[in-house]
Amino acid sequence: MQPRMQHRRLAMTLGAILAATLLSLAAHAQSGQTVWTAEQDHQNMMDQLGIQALRPGPSGDEKAPNHANYDEQQANPYPNLPDPLTMSDGTPVTSAAMWRERRRPELLDLFSEYVYGRVPAKVPPVKWSVTAVDHERIGFTPVLVKDLIGEVVDKATPGIVVKMHMTLVTPSQAKGPVPVLMMFGRAGFPAPNEPSPEEMERINAAWKKVLTQQDASLAAVFAAHPAWQMVKPTPFAFPQRNEDGDLPNTWQLVAAGWGFALFDPTSVQADDGAGVRQGIIGLVNHGQPRTPEQWGALRAWAWGASRGLDYLQTDAAVDARHVGIEGVSRYGKAALVTMAYDERFALVLIGSSGKGGATPLRRNFGEAVESLTGGEYYWMAGNFMKYGASAASFGSRTPGDIPVDSNELLALCAPRLTFVSYGIPAKGDARWLDHQGSWMATIDANRVFTLLGAKGLDISGDYHTAKMPPVNEGHLDGVLAWRQHDGGHTDAPNMKYFLLWADKWINHQPPQ
């Protein structure tokens, strides 16, 4: 490329970036807000809370001076988890009715106040629309794919519009409604149906005609290369298998007679502190900063998933009684929060969720509360930052002061189907996630499943003494299930076990 052309293209690119920046600034100005960085938003929340200093979070680099603790002897400075079966006033929870009517609402309120934040009372409604429908094939299974946008608008905040993105995929030849697993991640058509060879010929002919009209010299180029086509069929490629050699999760789901919904949480709320004044949180706040009790991104993502379920319950292809939620890592946290708050979800697959998910906040092993009050503060309610404070108007607080913990979050899923999944550090599911801690929380939550008449884990002992099972030893006989696979930071190697387990409990028969 000639230097002049390079300079021209660079100028065009810089011009496009400048134009986009100006448009973004104009949108912010229209909504009456200034542009903040994540650091400024974080400082604003500290100022609201009267916090002068936060304890720094540990480093994930085990060679760093401030590396996280991985010594089990030092992992439990607050050795006792809060009891899910004891009310805040000390009253024991002795019946299923008492759990449903008193303890469950109390726990939800505590998690909202101190950990994940409250959803504002008046959130504008979501208007779902099907933007496109495609007939595709995933593996050997023909499927119907609907791409959807859920739009949220508030006339009081004209500079912010939320467009939630979800893609629903169901087997075309199903004889009735199918169970559906909503999966946090990027949405979009999984295997777009391409034009036929004849249609591609017409497209190429039209392209060449238009280009030749714009530049007559291209006629000679096309004549010199008559066999070359601009639009070509996508070459066949074998699927990228899961770490355990199985077919991709989506292939397994449709082959087993399930549907799936790809739900993009970042279309609800950005995964960034700088985006807190945009997205659904910014929309409801009219572009202004959060207050300490308001929802963070995890709760916003869970809210979005619930609005996605609102749509799924209206779709005739979906068995609305058996819709599940799935996610890995930060989306594993969000999947667990979704399941805890919305009892319409029938099952959950929680992948490698760590702190803020299935791992106790009190544990001093790997990821810490200070990790969440620092860089990932926007996932949580502002009030959660208090537990990382070393100097504040209220003194200092520690993880031991948090009135709830992950064992109670897991208990809020009872008696519905709950599968806790992890990999192994050797393959990349880092020790940072504290697998042992999640096991302890799962064991303690088991008591609530039992109280509610559900079959739980077949493990003896309490969370202090119950030994974590060996890798690849699944405990899948109850509605509360555990399996640590021998792969990395993914739940893919557990998908086939999840499907067998779920099918048994919901009495679903895969196609023969």
**Tens-level pLDDT at each residue, the chain (512 residues):** 443 333 444 344 444 434 444 444 444 444 455 789 999 999 999 999 999 999 999 998 888 999 999 999 999 999 999 999 999 999 999 999 999 999 999 999 999 999 999 999 999 999 999 999 999 999 999 999 999 999 999 999 999 999 999 999 999 999 999 999 999 999 999 988 889 889 999 999 999 999 999 999 999 999 999 999 998 888 877 788 888 888 999 999 999 999 999 999 999 999 999 999 999 999 999 999 999 999 999 999 999 999 999 999 999 999 999 999 999 999 999 999 999 999 999 999 999 999 999 999 999 999 999 999 999 999 999 999 999 999 999 999 999 999 999 999 999 999 999 999 999 999 999 999 999 999 999 999 999 999 999 999 989 999 999 999 999 999 999 999 999 999 999 999 999 999 999 999 999 999 98
Strands 347-351 and 389-392, bridge-based pairing: unpaired
Q: Is the same domain home to 489 and 358?
A: yes
Distance CA 315, CA 308 (A): 11
The verdict on 295 and 223 lying in the same domain is no
Domain-embedded: residue 65: no
Q: Same domain, yes or no, for 283 and 172?
A: yes
Give which of 327, 328, 320, 316 is closest to 345, Cα–Cα: 320
Q: Is residue 386 part of a domain?
A: yes
**Residue 397 within any structural domain of the chain:** yes
Tell me the residue ranges of DSSP E strands in 37-177: 51-54, 127-138, 141-153, 161-171
**222 and 366 together in one domain:** no
Give a yes or no: residue 353 inside a domain: yes
Residues 354 and 290 in one domain: yes
**For position 490, which CATH number holds?**
3.40.50.1820
> Quick one: 219 and 353 in the same domain?
no
Does 35 fall in a domain? no
Q: Are residues 205 and 80 in the same domain?
A: no
Q: Using N-to-C axis directions, what is the helix angle for 297-312 and 330-341, rounded to 10°?
A: 60
Q: Does the residue 40 lie in any domain? A: no
Residue 38's contacts (CB-CB under 8 Å, 6 or more residues apart) are 272, 273, 274, 378
Whether 127 and 221 map to the same domain: the answer is no
Strands 161-171 and 259-264: what pairing?
antiparallel
206 and 110, same structural domain?
Answer: no
The domain in which residue 169 lies consists of 72-191+248-506
Q: Do the beta carbons of residue 454 and residue 414 sit within 8 Å? A: yes
Q: In the chain, how many domains are there?
A: 2
Q: Are residues 129 and 159 in the same domain?
A: yes
Q: Model-level pTM?
A: 0.91
- Same domain as 204, residue 179: no
CA distance 424 to 441: 18
Let me know whether 279 and 405 are in one domain.
Answer: yes
| Separation in Å, CA 498 to CA 10, 213, 324, 510 | 50, 57, 11, 13
Residue 298 lies in a domain: yes
- How many Å is the maximal CA-CA distance in the chain? 87
Q: Is residue 492 assigned to a domain?
A: yes
